[in-house]
A and B are shown apart, each in its own frame.
Chain A
């Protein structure tokens, strides 16, 4: 049926119009696509059910409440081998988030420094940074992870070296930090008048001391900003800026110090006891290797993003700022960076996402992230591949989508400012 004939015909609905008439065609295509998609899903589900049936399995999430029977070394919430698989998954998820947050922070710092240094006029430094970027981003991240692990294990002293009269290794910074090939021990903050923990649904505890400290700190910052704003107002009215910085610093620093004193803050130092050091915060070498490898790898990409962002701000901006008599440092912080940030932030966040997803390679060094617990040991011990992998994907999807939501929000905000 030709289109022309359709046009000549009286406007009576005919079946061929579903395909040839623009008014209906999109509906037709969409209906076909939807039906096709549903058929595909139905086909997959029916295959799955048939196959599971043949294997004598079912889809059942009750294993999540069974005791996990395995131990996890790094646990941010209470957990032991009698806890459920669900709790093991949450311990893993928190470990994923921990390494992701640590990694994003370090990667940003290293990346920004390297990105800025790559633009440096210093020939040696610029070359060295170029080498860094090329070496790190052209070798697979998995290789970097095992590399860093091998370096930590191979080069740092064993706990045994700290022992006895003829110790070959010693602790650093006045016996407060110990670098061993099992990990790093740093002093931990302790409170002699601790307020204890706040139990959340009996699931895990949150330190009230920490919450209190943060509250006081934020209140201080808030107050300091109010003072600053009032000072600005005074400046715009009288032309004179009152000196407020001592007050503002005091507002931020003093209240937390008072709280710390009241709580009886002191540091707990690691000491060699038995097989290992005890006391202090113990960062396992699996965490460190993963953290450093992910950070340095991602930093190479971030450095490129930063460099591109800074170069993208046109030279005229710098020259305009200079001609206004603004000093180079201020030009960078007031003129270049705010403009560069708008270009830098979106790809930066997608690098953060990549880092988080790459943290699933933790399994290569035995860091117990959610892939290691839920997608690793739990999967192995229960044999429930479908359920565990589904949950695992949902975990990552949840993280990714939340970060994307933040990114979209940010993009919307900077766009508004631009217009």
Chain B
């Protein structure tokens, strides 16, 4: 018997690989050459611009002169100096520089807070922190007294107690209504005096307040994106349940809301935030623009999340609903204990995608005059020193968006794959 011989040269090694993968047919070869041409073109055109740059100049003219001096007449290089000078502004806007630790800490804590939601292996107790985090994050970013947050939180506790007590006596729905009313009454009448009282007794839990007008750059994008998605989640779930419910009127209202919001571009809702929202609210109400934008963004993303959650609900087998009914659970209990936990788990990739979309869409606020990264590129160009600079700023902003969104989309894909395998 002959011993097996190695495959011919043309089928192994680099050559073989190239023959197999790059030049298997004439169409393939053409495509390969085209691709190489495109890559080469980009490299030849862009790379020198990136490298032959200036990091130290203090104005555009100085930078251009420095580049010409260093690399010869006619060289067009990037003025990364503008990034060096302004990157903190692009990241934090006008947030006081001695308080940068606050958004940083808020970001880190946020990652900790979402970890148990995204990685189910982590201990379930961490979910408690996730529940508290929104108020903690608000306190860190906007400052003021922690007692405000605690007294708001107390409202939820009161609501829970009311709910537990009255639903035992009168049924879940009544309990829910009592609890909601109780929370609202407490917030309107008791929360402020209580927090002021606590503040005067223990004044140490106080952070220098920072008004929203100082928010800018990526911090603003992240704040709007995260606040929008988090506060729209409850509303989105309710809308999704409403859309699937048998109650005709509730269903009609939910469908009407969802289709209306999904039918108009975000920019029109931002116009509403910037010009009309104050008109819709009681005379004298005056939220600042960023809060108004967050409100509209919340409504916007609630409609999209409702569709994501609806997809999750639809993916559950009917048996789950029927089993919950068979156990004699009422509507809210069956939703809370059986349906929603499963539906939400399936919806997480969709929610992450919604967040990516929302995060990218926060750039639209530059059109109504907020100084997000894109808006800041304009005000930086309005500085006489940097009047006329374009690419460096756009590239920097695009790069950061890319890194964030790419990482998140990879994560969502990983999750999707995991969900797929765990289901089959």
CB contact list, A327-375 vs B, under 8 A: 357-358, 360-361, 363-364, 371, 375
Q: Which residues of A contact B21 (CB under 8 A)?
A: 121-124
Q: Are A29 and B250 in contact (CB under 8 A)?
A: yes
Interface string of B165-192 (1 = CB under 8 A from A): 0000011011000000000000000000
Is A143 a contact of B391 with CB atoms below 8 Å? no
In the complex, A31→B211 CA distance in Å? 42
B83: Cβ under 8 A from any A Cβ: no
* Interface membership of A392, Cβ < 8 A: yes
Contact of A125 among B32, B278, B280, B281 (CB under 8 A): B32
- Cα(A218)–Cα(B390), bound, Å: 49
A386 to B280, CA, bound (A): 10
- Are A357's CB and B171's CB within 8 A? no
Do residues A47 and B281 form an inter-chain contact, with CB atoms below 8 A?
yes
> Shortest beta-carbon distance, A351 to chain B, in Å?
12
Q: Determine which residue in A19, A123, A139, A400 has the highest number of CB atoms from chain B within 10 A of its CB, and name it.
A: A139
Stretch at the interface among B92-100, B201-209, B267-275, B338-346: B267-275
Give CA–CA (A350, B32) in the complex, Å: 33
Q: Is the CB of B253 closer than 8 A to any CB of chain A? A: yes
Task: Please tell me if the beta carbons of B32 and A364 are within 8 angstroms of each other in the complex.
Answer: no
> Is A30 a contact partner of B406 (Cβ separation < 8 A)?
no
A54 — which chain B residues lie within 8 A by C-beta?
Answer: 283
Q: Is the CB of B276 within 8 A of A385?
A: yes
Cβ-neighbour of A393 out of B170, B259, B264, B391 (below 8 A):
B264
B247, B260, B276, B363: the one within 8 Å of A140 (CB): B363
C-alpha spacing A43/B137, complex, angstroms = 32
Contact A33 B264 (CB under 8 A): no
With a 10 A CB-CB cut-off, give which of A30, A52, A154, A396 has the most chain B CB atoms: A30
A47 vs B281: C-alpha distance when bound (angstroms): 6
**Separation of A140 and B28 alpha carbons in the complex (Å):** 32
List of A residues within 8 angstroms of B173 by Cβ = 19, 25, 29
**B122 is an interface residue with CB less than 8 A from chain A:** no
**Residues in B247-300 with C-beta less than 8 Å from chain A:** 247-250, 253, 259-260, 262-268, 271-272, 275-276, 278-283
How far is it, in angstroms, between the C-alpha of A134 and the C-alpha of B405 when the chains are bound? Answer: 9
Are B267 and A122 closer than 8 Å at their CB atoms? no
| In the complex, chain A residues whose CB is within 8 Å of the CB of B390 | 150, 154
B387 at the interface (CB under 8 A from A): no
Partner pick for A139 among B170, B259, B391, B405, CB 8 A cutoff: B405
CB of B364 within 8 A of CB of A143, answer no
**Is A4's beta carbon under 8 Å from chain B?**
no
A30 nearest in chain B by CB position: B249
The reply to whether B267 and A371 form a contact with Cβ atoms under 8 Å apart is: yes
**A215 an interface residue at 8 Å Cβ cutoff?**
no
A147 at the binding interface (Cβ < 8 Å)? yes
Tell yes or no: B160 within 8 A of A by CB. Answer: no
**What mask results when residues 7 to 40 of chain A are scored 1 for a CB within 8 Å of chain B, else 0?**
0000000000001100001100110011001000
Closest residue on chain A to residue B34 by CB atoms: A125
Q: Is A109 an interface residue (CB 8 A)?
A: no
Are B32 and A385 in touch, CB under 8 angstroms? Answer: no
A37-B253, A122-B28, A150-B394 given; A44·B35 CB < 8 A: no
> Quick check: is A117 within 8 A (CB to CB) of the other chain?
yes
CA distance A107 to B50 in the complex (A): 30
Is there a chain A Cβ closer than 8 Å to B75's Cβ? Answer: no
Residues B361 and A147 in contact, CB atoms below 8 Å apart: no
CB distance from B271 to the nearest CB of A (A): 5
Q: Across the interface, do A44 and B280 meet the contact criterion of CB distance under 8 Å?
A: yes
Stretch at the interface among B3-11, B66-74, B395-403: B395-403
Chain A residues whose C-beta falls within 8 Å of the C-beta of B64 in the assembled complex = none
Contact, CB under 8 Å: B32 / A397: no
Tell me which residues across on chain B come within 8 A of A396, comparing CB atoms. 263-265, 268
Given the complex of chains A and B, what is the CA–CA distance between A286 and B127 in angstroms?
Answer: 49
A400–B401 CB distance below 8 A: no
Please name all residues of chain B whose beta carbon is closer than 8 Å to the beta carbon of A254 when the two chains form the complex.
none
Cα distance A70–B385 in the bound complex, in angstroms: 34
B394 to A, closest residue via Cβ: A147
Can you list, as one digit per residue, whether each of B359-393 has a CB less than 8 Å from chain A (1) or not (0)? 01101101100000010000000000000001100
B residues near A34, Cβ cutoff 8 Å: 249
By the criterion CB–CB under 8 Å, are B278 and A360 in contact? no
* B15 contact set on A, CB distance < 8 A: none
Question: Smallest CB-CB separation from B20: which chain A residue?
Answer: A121
- Given the complex, which residues of A lie within 8 Å of B248, measured CB to CB? 30
Q: How far is the CB of A303 from chain B (nearest CB, A)?
A: 14
Knowing A143-B374, A150-B391, A360-B265, say if A121 contacts B24 (CB, 8 Å): yes
A30-B247, A33-B247, A385-B275 are known contacts. Are A125 and B397 too (CB-CB below 8 A)? no
B330 to nearest A CB, angstroms?
10
A347 nearest CB across to chain B (Å)? 12
B22 near A: Cβ within 8 Å?
Answer: yes
Q: How far is the CA of A358 from the CA of B391 in the complex (A)?
A: 23
Interface: B227 (CB within 8 A): no
Contacts of B406 in A (CB 8 A): 134, 138
CA distance A137 to B409 in the complex (A): 10
Given contacts A122-B22, A392-B268, contact A143 B253 (CB under 8 A): no
B36, CB-defined interface residue at 8 Å: yes
Which chain A residue has the least Cβ–Cβ distance from B272? Answer: A389
A19 touches B268 (CB 8 A): no
Closest chain A residue to B246, Cβ basis: A26
B265–A397 contact, CB under 8 A? no
B31 at the interface (CB under 8 A from A): yes
B22 is contacted by which of A44, A123, A138, A400 (Cβ under 8 Å)?
Answer: A123
Is B111 an interface residue when CB atoms closer than 8 A count as contact? no
Q: Is B323 an interface residue (CB 8 A)?
A: no
What separation, in Å, do the CA atoms of A120 and B29 have in the docked complex? Answer: 12
Q: Within 8 Å of chain A (Cβ to Cβ): is B43?
A: no
- A169–B246 CA distance with the chains assembled, in angstroms: 68
Smallest distance from the beta carbon of A309 to chain B beta carbons, Å?
16
Q: A140-B363, A357-B264, A396-B265 are in contact. Are A389 and B283 (CB under 8 A)?
A: no
Closest to A122 in B: B28
CB pair B280–A48 under 8 Å, yes or no, is yes
Residues of A299-328 whose CB lies within 8 A of B: none
A117:B279 contact, CB within 8 angstroms? no
Instruction: Tell yes or no: A65 within 8 A of B by CB.
Output: no
Q: A51, B268: Cβ atoms under 8 Å?
A: no
What are 22 A-B interface contacts by the 8 Å CB criterion? A1-B170, A20-B171, A29-B247, A33-B253, A37-B253, A47-B282, A51-B280, A51-B283, A122-B22, A124-B31, A125-B35, A128-B38, A137-B409, A138-B356, A138-B360, A139-B402, A139-B405, A143-B363, A360-B267, A363-B267, A397-B264, A404-B259
Q: Which 9 A-B pairs have the closest CB atoms?
A: A400-B263, A138-B405, A357-B265, A140-B360, A360-B265, A385-B275, A140-B363, A30-B249, A397-B263
12 further A-B contacts with Cβ under 8 Å, apart from A143-B401, A150-B390, are A3-B171, A30-B248, A125-B35, A128-B35, A137-B409, A138-B356, A139-B360, A139-B405, A360-B265, A385-B271, A400-B262, A400-B263
Residues of B that sit less than 8 Å from A by CB: 21-22, 24, 28, 31-32, 35-36, 38-39, 170-171, 173-174, 246-250, 253, 259-260, 262-268, 271-272, 275-276, 278-283, 356, 360-361, 363-364, 366-367, 374, 390-391, 394, 397-398, 401-402, 405-406, 409
Chain A residues with CB under 8 Å of chain B are 1, 3, 19-20, 25-26, 29-30, 33-34, 37, 44, 47-48, 50-52, 54, 117, 120-125, 128, 134-135, 137-143, 146-147, 150, 154, 357-358, 360-361, 363-364, 371, 375, 379, 385-386, 389, 392-393, 396-397, 400-401, 404
